[in-house]
Structure 1
Amino acid sequence: MYKITNRNLHRDFAYFYVGLIIAFSFSGIILNHRQDWYPMDYTYESEEVAIALDASTTDISQEYIEAFSKEWDVEYDGHRVRDNTLRVYYKDNVILDVDMKTGNGLLEYKRKVPFIGHTMFLHKSTNSFWIWYSDIFGAAMLLIAITGMLIPNGKNGFKSRGWKFAVAGILFPLLFLILYA
């Protein structure tokens, strides 16, 4: 007969969510270092291009971009102008960056990094089903943390010394927020 105890709840929820714990751990670490390495995608092919831009930054339209993009066999998906750079997004993860002053640019064909890039997709997903599943996962992580604290008894238990570590673990991020946020 199955008896509901802190140890059993902790173990079973941890077993069930171990894959997601690992995936979110990897992607969370990588998101922390995305300025150095962003594996959502990598460039597998690139091509230097020169475009004769005769429009001002306010006159750039989808039609204008589609006209000079025909030679690359790509489908327009959006664009933006920032800091004198035109960035054009095409379907199938193709990106064009063009210097608005010179017309010189780089057309990049990108792919998602296997496994790691896919875990980041999960971490950043806005799909409503996945948001609910992630919320349930967050609640399960709370359950895992709480039941994990309550498993040990005696001199190493939460009441004896575990609460000190828990307070330190809570104070550290709070201190960081106060000093750096």
Structure 2
Amino acid sequence: MSSTPSNAINAGGRSRKKPKSGFWKRQARTWHWVSGAICLIGIILFAVTGITLNHAHQIKTEPSEVEKTMTLSSVVVAAMEDLPTEGTSNELARPVARALERELSVNLKGREVEWTDVDAYISLPRPGGDAWVSIDRASGEVLYVSTSRGAVAYLNDLHKGRNTGAAWRWFLDIFSAACIVFALSGLWLLQIHAGKRSSTWPLVAGGLLIPVILLILFVHR
């Protein structure tokens, strides 16, 4: 009766085990491609907006402005009578906020209000633009002005996290962490294959030295 391959292995007193190096190579590739897939679109976006930010003074855009006016009802105006005449508060009175949100299609939740005895002023900055609301406390007249600086300014502000809110700032932190994983797993793969590719470490060193030399020669003079 012929012995099976498993019996032959057992008879020899040895079992074939996959080398540990193969496991770590697979781990490096997995971490690299998964983090790369997650980061791909974001890396392209941030690379493009890095260029547009670097040449912002050369990209000419004409801001567009929208102006709206309205008058609050006497009942709504009365809701502001007991509010401060100076300083700031966290929110408008709810009846006032509801009227403005309904007529102007703006979100005033959590917006700081600057008060004087004459008017109330609310700043509404956003990525790629700005807006503000002014309310006359006596007459209830409202002036709303919204300015947009275009798509490039919008993307640039996303890059900087300017006026984007907490959710986008959290995204930037998580995305940055994923990019670090992508870069370090790439470095790991370079180390694994460096023995067969003699140009690996000279290229890595070049990627470090070029910006350092530029900083020394042209920035810190």
* TM tier relative to shorter chain: 0.5 to 0.7
Question: Following the alignment from structure 1 to structure 2, what is the Cα–Cα distance between the partners of residues 38 and 9?
Answer: 41
The answer to whether residue 63 in structure 2 is matched with residue 43 in structure 1 is yes
Structure of higher CA gyration radius: 2
- 1:123 maps to what in 2? 159
Gap runs ≥5 in structure 2 = 1-22, 66-115, 124-129, 134-145
Counting aligned pairs with the same residue, the percent is 28
Q: What does residue 70 of structure 1 align with? A: none
Larger strand share, 1 or 2:
1
Give the aligned residue type for 1:172: I
Contact kept, 8 Å, 2:32 with 2:186, in 1: the verdict is yes
Question: In the alignment, does 2:200 pair up with 1:162?
Answer: yes
Displacement after TM superposition at 1:38 (Å): 6.0
In the other structure, the counterpart of 1:17 is 39
- Report how far residue 172 of structure 1 moved: 1.0
CA pair 38-172 structure 1, distance change in 2 beyond 3 A? farther
| Alignment equivalent of 1:113, drawn from 133, 144, 150 | 150
Name the SS of the counterpart of 1:16 in structure 2. Answer: helix
CA distance in 2, matches of 1:76, 1:120: 24
- Structure 1 residue 25: Cα displacement: 1.3
Q: How far apart, CA to CA, are the structure 2 residues paired with 1:129 and 1:110?
A: 23
Residue type matched to 2:38 in 1?
Answer: F
Q: CA deviation at 1:33?
A: 0.5
Q: How many angstroms does 1:15 deviate by? A: 0.9
Aligned CA distance change for structure 1 residues 112 and 18 (closer, same or farther; 3 Å): farther
TM-score, normalised relative to structure 2: 0.45
Are 2:209 and 1:171 aligned?
Answer: yes
CA deviation string 1:28-78 (max 9, x = no partner):
110010111166xx4246xxxxxxxxxxxxxxxxx9xx9xxxxxxxx885x
**Kept in 2: contact 1:30–1:38 (CA 8 A):** no
Contact 1:13 1:144 in 2 (8 A): yes
Report what 1:27 is aligned to.
Answer: 49
Q: Are positions 1:147 and 2:189 aligned together? A: no
Structure 1 stretches of at least 4 aligned residues deviating more than 4 Å after TM superposition: none
**Higher RCO structure (Cα 8 Å, ≥6 apart):** 1
Contact 1:125–1:131, Cα closer than 8 Å, also in 2: yes
Of the candidates 125, 132, 135, which is equivalent to residue 170 of structure 2? 132
- C-alpha distance in 2 between matches for 1:35 and 1:117: 11
Structure 1, unaligned stretches of length 5 or more?
A: 46-62, 67-74, 78-88, 93-108
Structure 1 residue 110: deviation in Å? 4.2
TM-align CA RMSD: 3.5
Shift of residue 136, structure 1, vs aligned partner: 2.6
Distance 1:176 1:6 in 2: 32
Read off the aligned partner of 1:163 and give its amino acid letter. Answer: W
Aligned 1:82-97 pairs, distance under 5 A? 91=132
TM-score by length of 1: 0.53
